[in-house]
Amino acid sequence: MSLFGSLGVAASGMHTFKTWIDASADNVANVNTIRPTDEPAFQERFVVANASEYRNGQVGAGVRVAGVAFGDAEGRLVYDPSHPFADDDGMVRAPDMVLSDQLTNLIIAQRAYQANVTVFERARDTYLRALEIGR
């Protein structure tokens, strides 16, 4: 690991968890999105993360966003004959998500992001103190 490797690892974690926060916030915003039955439902977003490649044989290079996976486009059919998108049977298509699960994921991602920010700040402060000693 390089001299400032801890900063890079924490920064990679911050980037990954920011992406997770964005995906979870998008899910929360669309948890009640209704569509006609002949269209796909809003698909839940899942962030896929992988460990970063090893550098020079060293372990602990951080994490990276490998991609985003999507939930089921089928969603669930809900009986709501008063909705403007309702079909002849009174059915509409809703996403197959639970708000409490999405909010839990959002809190987990937020706390993980905050933990990485704390690590970054502590490492930065340590490097700054080391520079002061060298004067």
Q: For residue range 95-134, what is the model confidence (pLDDT) as tens digits? A: 999 999 999 999 999 999 999 999 999 988 988 888 888 7
Q: How many domains does the chain have?
A: 1
Strand partners, 94: 76
pLDDT at residue 43, rounded to an integer: 96
Of the candidates 70, 56, 73, 61, the one whose C-alpha atom is nearest the C-alpha of residue 16 is: 61
Q: What are the residue ranges of helices labelled H in the chain?
A: 5-29, 99-133
> In terms of Cα–Cα distance, which of 6, 8, 14 is closest to 111?
14
Q: What is the pLDDT of residue 127?
A: 85
Read off the pLDDT of residues 81-92 as tens digits, 9 standing for 90 and up.
999 999 999 999
Residue of 24 and 60 predicted with greater confidence: 24
Tokens 């899942």 sit on residue: 46
pTM of structure: 0.84
CA distances from 59 to 4, 9, 55, 96, 120 (A): 14, 11, 7, 39, 18
Per-residue model confidence (pLDDT) at position 94: 96
Question: Could you tell me the residue range of the domain that residue 40 belongs to?
Answer: 5-133
Does the pLDDT of residue 55 top 80, yes or no?
Answer: no
